[in-house]
Amino acid sequence: MKILTIHGPNLNLTGQREPEVYGSKSLEMINLDIARKGETLGLTTVCRQSNHEGEIIDWLQNAEKETFSGIILNPAAFTHTSIAIRDAIAAIELPVIEVHLSNISAREEFRQRSLTAAVCRGSISGFGTASYLVALETFKMLLS
């Protein structure tokens, strides 16, 4: 089983940008944690990051052709603004788990509404980088 993780805009700055909110681990370290956890679960993991909405949409739409079994998506700021990403998730057959490092329900009012969550299989937020690892464990259970 192969799981695609998509990190949205500004997550390339994780570890330096607002570490009190997003943690001190770099995106490279997060990706390494995802790869290690995937390996222990018998999952192949691929991680990608983009600051561009269209690129994220392309990855979502092409994931099945690339033989992925599921997608972990941290849409970051697009969570609250992107109807296009929402529509792309709704249009594909693969299960998508939305992930956030911070608890978006406890953030500023404009960050509390997710446009994408309703078309995802589920959401995990507020556990820092462990949110990604919980999503991997969930996929292992769902896809086994």
pLDDT tens readout for residues 66-103: 999 999 999 999 998 899 999 999 999 999 999 999 87
User: Tell me, what CATH number does 70's domain have?
Assistant: 3.40.50.9100
Catalytic residue among 7, 52, 80, 100: 100
- Strand 96-100 relative to strand 122-125: parallel, antiparallel, unpaired? parallel
| Residues 129-139: tens digit of each pLDDT | 999 999 999 99
Beta bridge partners of 123: 98
Radius of gyration, CA atoms only, the chain: 14
Domain count, the chain: 1
What's the average model confidence in pLDDT over 108-129? 87
Structure tokens at 94: 């693969």
Residue 144: what pLDDT? 86
Residue 100: active-site member: yes
Residue 132: active-site member: no
Catalytic residue among 22, 52, 80, 132: 22
CA dist., res. 142 & res. 144, Å (int): 6
Residue 17: what pLDDT? 79
CA dist., res. 142 & res. 93, Å (int): 14
| Size (the chain), residues | 144
Domain encompassing residue 34? 2-143
